[in-house]
Amino acid sequence: MDFPGQTPNVAIDLNDAGFYSSDFQTSTDSGQMATSPTGQISANAYRRANVGSAGKVLENNGFGWLLEVNEDEGDQIPLLEELDIDLTDIYYKIRCVLLPLPYFRMKLNIVRESPDFWGPLAVVLSFALLSLYGQLGVVSWIITMWFCGGFMVYFIARALGGDVGYSQVLGIVGYCLIPLVVTSLLTPIVSSFRFLSNFLGIFGTVWSVYSAGTLLCVDELQSKKPLIVYPVFLLYVYFYSLYSGV
């Protein structure tokens, strides 16, 4: 019933008029009613809306990329792969150094042609730790001799016409310390036998020199092999003297 002076209720359908309709959801949180849109905004838009005054200054000056977050979790690279560490490759190179004779049919050229850093570094650190005898400074000195001695061998090889790189020489010199690491582990066991202990040290040094000379002497250096082996021999004798204290 309509009363005099009262405006009748009129229902207007906005959907028929072509207006945009947004869906809203009403949720109850702690007894209070809240209205929020069901539509989702992108993470970047949400970030830009919440960067604050400092973030807006960066955005306006073209430094908005500093606030970007990598949302792609599927492209994460394993740590060993990211550091370029191939344990299988390192293991094979260790076998090449320990078994440099042609009888074992190892691909010795892989140590020279595919140099890496972490494998030789691990070998040099192992030798340095065995040479400690309570003196921590020996570690840094052995690493320094690895870099400097490797550079001297590289310089001589290049001067003689060898097609080798510094990283290749550094890797070969580092890997070829493995025989000295092996003999250094055995020396304390026979330390009571002076002659046997010295023999192990000499044997490990010759083993290292032979492996390094075989790996370093590429085709153009075969005729000049003694000129390469001699500085390598001096380098490994010095390494052994650091271990034995001679």
Question: Does 181 fall in a domain?
Answer: yes
Asked if residue 58 lies in contact with residue 64, where contact means CB atoms within 8 angstroms, the answer is yes
Number of domains in the chain: 1
pLDDT of residue 203: 92
Asked if residue 243 lies in contact with residue 131, where contact means CB atoms within 8 angstroms, the answer is yes
Confidence of residue 234 (pLDDT cuts 50, 70, 90): very high
* H-helix segments, the chain: 43-49, 52-60, 79-82, 87-98, 109-113, 118-130, 137-159, 166-175, 178-186, 194-216, 225-244
pLDDT of residue 131: 76
Of the two residues 217 and 155, the one the predictor is more confident about is 155
Phi, psi angle pair for 107, to nearest 5°: -80, 85
From 110, 99, 92, 89, select the one nearest 210 (Cα to Cα).
99
CA angle 45, 47, 53 (to 5 degrees): 115
Question: Does 74 fall in a domain?
Answer: no
Query: Given a cut of 60, is residue 8 above it in pLDDT?
Result: no
Residue 178 bridge partners (DSSP): none
Confidence of residue 114 (pLDDT cuts 50, 70, 90): confident
**What would the pLDDT profile of 13-62 be if each residue is shown by its tens digit?**
545 544 444 444 444 444 444 444 444 445 555 555 555 666 666 667 66
Question: Does 130 fall in a domain?
Answer: yes
Question: Does 159 fall in a domain?
Answer: yes
Query: Given a cut of 50, is residue 97 above it in pLDDT?
Result: yes
Question: Does 223 fall in a domain?
Answer: yes
Amino acid at 178: I
Question: Does 90 fall in a domain?
Answer: yes
Q: The domain containing residue 201 runs over which residues?
A: 86-244
What average pLDDT is seen over the chain? 76
Phi, psi angle pair for 95, to nearest 5°: -65, -35
pLDDT of residue 50: 57
Amino acid at 128: A
Q: How far apart are CA 164 and CA 162, in angstroms?
A: 6
Confidence of residue 170 (pLDDT cuts 50, 70, 90): very high
Question: Does 5 fall in a domain?
Answer: no
Of the two residues 171 and 162, the one the predictor is more confident about is 171
Across 11-25, 142-156, 214-228, 232-246, which has the greatest mean pLDDT?
142-156
Q: How far apart are CA 196 and CA 158, in angstroms?
A: 38
Question: Does 44 fall in a domain?
Answer: no
Q: Give the distance, in angstroms, between the CA of residue 168 and the centroid of all CA atoms in the same chain.
A: 17
